[in-house]
Chain A
Amino acid sequence: MSHHIVAVKNLRHVYPDGTTALRDVSFRIHHGESVAIIGANGAGKSTLLLHLNGYLVPTSGEIQIGDFPLTKGTLPQIRRTVGMVFQEPDDQLFMPTVYDDVAFGPLNLGLTGDDLDRCVIEALERVGARHLVEKAPYHLSGGEKRRVAIATVLSMSPDILVLDEPTNGLDPYSRRQLIALLKEFRHTRIFTSHDLDMVLDLCERTIVLKDGEVRADGPTLEIFQDEELLEECRLEKPLSLQGCPVCGGRR
């Protein structure tokens, strides 16, 4: 299907206290693309993400998800289409057991009985967490929590996945596993992260935000080789690109 696009046009957001978090953001993400949104702290990444499923309402500008413009009327449809995985899995996993948590979305969509069971188990199997089904979220490790958090969204079969800092706070092994998992997905994917090596691994395209505006938008490799741009946006070349003779790294 070709309509799983995310289009943001002249998005501007001013918080009630007067802070302008987003000045003028426009981009268009196509079906099946994997895109990273990077930028320094306070560049507006989180604010932007919260617009994508309608939690925040734009001060001005437009957002289109799939075939629908984001309005109050299309909100339920859009929240079903956009699966949002939050930065802190403890906020995402709020039910007493993993099962209940993964079932929360489908239940709200009206699934019951065997359909619900199947949906939950499928989602957990997809992230390799089938064995955790009856566990309580606070007994899970950091990596397990991430996987389950992703399953809670997958169970609603979204078309677009939005992940906020997915590798934050994971040990190298869990991080590696998670990246491998995310690589398998065929959804349209949008990440925010400070883990630029992950971005290099997962995303062919990167959008750089600076002070609430799109500073750069292009192929990931190109952006990471533009040292001036990186420095200006308080970013750094991914470690895997540093000191590499082929790509011309200096350090």
Chain B
Amino acid sequence: MASIDAALLDFQRLDRLAAGSSALHRLDPRAKVLVVLVFLVSVISFGRYQLSALLPFFVFPAVLIGCADLPAGYLARKVALVCPFALVVGIFNPLVDTEIMVHLGPVAISGGWLSCASILVRALLTVSAALILVATTGFPAICRALEQLGMPKVFAVQLLFLYRYLFVLAEEGGRAARARELRSFGNKGQGMASYSSLIGSLLLKTWQRAERIHMAMLARGFTGAFQVRQHYRFGRPEFLYLCSWSALFVLLRLFNPAELFGAFLTGLFS
């Protein structure tokens, strides 16, 4: 099951990035979560045919990757892997919408192609923003941020448990799958029957594990309420971070620097 191992490694790599020590990593996670939300809303609030106005938004992922010293190639590969799913639906746009909207010299571009490209750019922007959020913040911190922003505690705690045991169980599942693969030849033995009992026994083991965890919690004085320490402070750097990015996104939403730039440059030469 090379694919499971690979997926796990990939997961862990992204997870480890969050252990970085840049100034960005040290910010209160709430600021980072909020900025990403403002970013996402700004990006998707553009009309269907917008393309050039979306491009300046790449400044956000680029600056963050630079500041936090994240591996750009790795993140780009991850983003590229996801984009086809958005394109599956977007690719129909050129077929449906063939009306010519833009002329680039001799080339005429239909609205469909424009909106399809717009979908692609949106996907690149939104996906990279999400990945960068994880890579600079880390999942547990995101959970805490969301909890402080009003997410119910039960849900937050449950998320932390999920995250904690994800690696444990994925490895356990991976071992079981490997054992099945080694004893099956071709597609024989990989069918639904063996799958169901494999997953079934994984489920039972998981359940027992949950019981043991609960035992370990009781042994340490757990009485039903989770006590969580607070260790972040929403100070001036956070405030600055949130305000400056939000202001920039609003500005980029209202004015299109690509257009302005282009007009200026082509004006110079004509």
Q: Which of A53, A80, A109, A136 has the most CB of B within 10 A?
A: A136
Whole-angstrom distance between the alpha carbons of A136 and B140 in the complex?
10
Whole-angstrom distance between the alpha carbons of A55 and B217 in the complex?
11
Once the chains bind, are B209 and A91 in contact (CB under 8 Å)?
yes
Q: Which residues from 62 to 94 on chain A have a C-beta closer than 8 Å to any C-beta of chain B?
A: 76, 79-80, 82-84, 86, 88, 90-94
Once the chains bind, are A91 and B212 in contact (CB under 8 Å)?
yes
**Given A96-B160, A138-B168: A53 and B212 within 8 A (CB)?**
no
B163 interface residue, CB < 8 Å from A?
Answer: yes
Once the chains bind, are B220 and A153 in contact (CB under 8 Å)?
yes
Whole-angstrom distance between the alpha carbons of A116 and B213 in the complex?
23
Once the chains bind, are B212 and A86 in contact (CB under 8 Å)?
yes
- Name which of B34-42, B221-229, B249-257 contacts chain A: B221-229
Once the chains bind, are B229 and A96 in contact (CB under 8 Å)?
no
Chain B contributes a number of interface residues (CB within 8 A of A) equal to: 27
Report the minimum CB–CB distance from A33 to chain B (whole Å): 21
Report the minimum CB–CB distance from A159 to chain B (whole Å): 14
Give B18's nearest chain A residue, CB to CB.
A136
Once the chains bind, are A116 and B223 in contact (CB under 8 Å)?
no
Report the minimum CB–CB distance from B16 to chain A (whole Å): 8
Whole-angstrom distance between the alpha carbons of A139 and B138 in the complex?
14
B216 interface residue, CB < 8 Å from A?
Answer: yes
- Name which of A17-25, A100-108, A234-242 contacts chain B: A100-108
The one of A93, A108, A137, A139 in contact with B221, judged by C-beta atoms closer than 8 angstroms, is: A108
Once the chains bind, are A92 and B216 in contact (CB under 8 Å)?
yes
A156 interface residue, CB < 8 Å from B?
Answer: yes
Once the chains bind, are B212 and A156 in contact (CB under 8 Å)?
no
Give B15's nearest chain A residue, CB to CB.
A136
Chain B residues lying within 8 Å of A136, measured Cβ to Cβ, are: 15, 140
Chain B residues lying within 8 Å of A84, measured Cβ to Cβ, are: 216, 219
Give B160's nearest chain A residue, CB to CB.
A96
Whole-angstrom distance between the alpha carbons of A229 and B147 in the complex?
58
B218 interface residue, CB < 8 Å from A?
Answer: yes
**Given A96-B140, A96-B163: A105 and B221 within 8 A (CB)?**
yes
Give A102's nearest chain B residue, CB to CB.
B220
Report the minimum CB–CB distance from B124 to chain A (whole Å): 30
Once the chains bind, are A86 and B215 in contact (CB under 8 Å)?
yes
Chain A residues lying within 8 Å of B19, measured Cβ to Cβ, are: 134
A182 interface residue, CB < 8 Å from B?
Answer: no
**Given A91-B209, A138-B167: A100 and B220 within 8 A (CB)?**
no
A181 interface residue, CB < 8 Å from B?
Answer: no
Chain A residues lying within 8 Å of B218, measured Cβ to Cβ, are: 53, 55, 79
- 5 cross-chain CB contacts under 8 A: A79-B221, A107-B227, A109-B221, A137-B164, A152-B220
Rank and list the top 5 A-B pairs by shortest CB-CB distance, nearest first.
A108-B221, A96-B140, A107-B227, A105-B220, A91-B212
A interface, CB within 8 angstroms of B: 50, 53, 55, 76, 79-80, 82-84, 86, 88, 90-97, 100, 103-105, 107-109, 112, 116, 134, 136-139, 152-153, 156
Q: A53-B219, A79-B221, A103-B229 are in contact. List 11 more A-B contacts (CB 8 A).
A: A88-B212, A90-B168, A90-B209, A91-B212, A91-B215, A94-B213, A95-B160, A96-B164, A100-B229, A108-B220, A134-B19
